[in-house]
Chains A and B, each alone.
Chain A
Amino acid sequence: MSKLAIQISGLSKRYRIGIRERYPTLRDALARAVSASMRTVRSWSSDHNSEGGGGWIWALRDVDLEVNRGEILGIVGRNGAGKSTLLKILTGITEPTKGYADIYGNLGSLLEVGTGFHMELTGRENVFINGMLLGMKRQEIKRKFDEIVAFSGVEEFLDTPVKRYSSGMFMRLAFSIAAHLDPEILLVDEVLAVGDAAFQKKCLGKIGDVAGEGRTVLFVSHDMHAVQTICQKTVWLDAGGVKEVGPTAEVVQDYLRSVLLEDSAPLADRTDRHGDGTIRLRSILIESREKSRVISSRSGLRIEIEYTSERPLLHPRFLATLTDQHGTVIYLLDTGCTPDFPSSLPPSGTVVCETEAISVSPGRCCFDLAVYNGGVIADLVYDVARFEVVAEHSYIAGHIPGRDRVTCVVLHKWSAAKEK
Chain B
Amino acid sequence: MRSMLNNAVNCTSDDLAKEQPVIRRQARPGWVAIDFAELWRYRELVVFYAVRDIRVRYKQTLLGVAWAVLQPVLTMLVFSIFFGTLARVPSDGIPYPIFSYCGLVPWQLFAYALTQSSNRIVEDAGVITKVYFPRLIVPLASVIAGLVDFSIAFAVLMAMMFYYGIPLSITILTLPLFTLIGLVAALAVGLWLSALNVRYRDVRYTIPFLAQFWLFVTPVAYSSSLVPAKWQALYAINPMVGVVNGFRWALLGKTCPNPMVSVSLAATAVLLIGGLYYFRRMEKSFADII
A interface residues, Cβ below 8 angstroms from B? 1-4, 7, 15, 19-20, 22-24, 26, 29-30, 32-33, 36, 47-48, 88-107, 109, 111-112, 115-116, 118, 120-121, 125, 128-129, 132-134, 137-138, 161
Contacts and interface: CB of A to CB of B under 8 A. Distances in A.
Contacts of B60: 120
B25 A36 contact: no
Interface string B181-201: 000000000000000000111
B25 to A, nearest CB: 4
Interface in B35-53: 44-45, 48-49, 52
Contact of A4 (B16, B25, B45, B132): B16
B132 A97 contact: no
A132 B287 contact: no
B129 interface: yes
Contacts of B62: none
Nearest to A111: B130
A59 B28 CA distance: 18
Contacts of B45: 132-133
Nearest to B23: A103
18 contacts: A15-B288, A19-B289, A24-B201, A29-B201, A36-B200, A47-B29, A88-B287, A92-B23, A94-B287, A100-B26, A102-B25, A104-B22, A115-B126, A115-B127, A115-B131, A121-B55, A121-B56, A133-B131
B230 interface: no
Contacts of A20: 289
B205 interface: yes
A36 B199 contact: yes
Contacts of A36: 199-200
B33 interface: no
A129 to B, nearest CB: 5
B201 A93 contact: no
Contacts of B29: 47-48
Contacts, number: 131
A118 B201 CA distance: 23
Interface in B83-131: 124, 126-131
Given A88-B287, A102-B24, A118-B52, A4 B17 contact: yes
Contacts of A98: 27
B200 A33 contact: yes
Given A93-B130, A107-B23, A115-B127, A121 B48 contact: no
Interface of B: 1, 4, 8, 13, 16-17, 21-29, 44-45, 48-49, 52, 55-56, 59-60, 124, 126-133, 199-202, 204-205, 284-285, 287-289
Contacts of A100: 24-26
Nearest to A136: B44
Given A95-B27, A103-B23, A129 B48 contact: yes
Contact of B204 (A19, A24, A90, A91): A24
A393 to B, nearest CB: 22
Given A19-B289, A129-B48, A134-B131, A95 B28 contact: yes
A93 B129 contact: yes
A120 B56 contact: yes
A23 B1 CA distance: 44
B58 to A, nearest CB: 10
Contacts of A118: 52, 56
Contacts of B288: 15, 19, 94
Contact of A92 (B1, B25, B59, B127): B25
A128 B52 CA distance: 10
Contact of B25 (A19, A96, A104): A96
Contact of A33 (B23, B48, B202): B202
B31 to A, nearest CB: 12
A239 to B, nearest CB: 19
A103 B25 contact: yes
A99 B28 CA distance: 11
Contacts of B284: 94-95
B53 to A, nearest CB: 10
Nearest to B206: A29
Contacts of A125: 52, 55
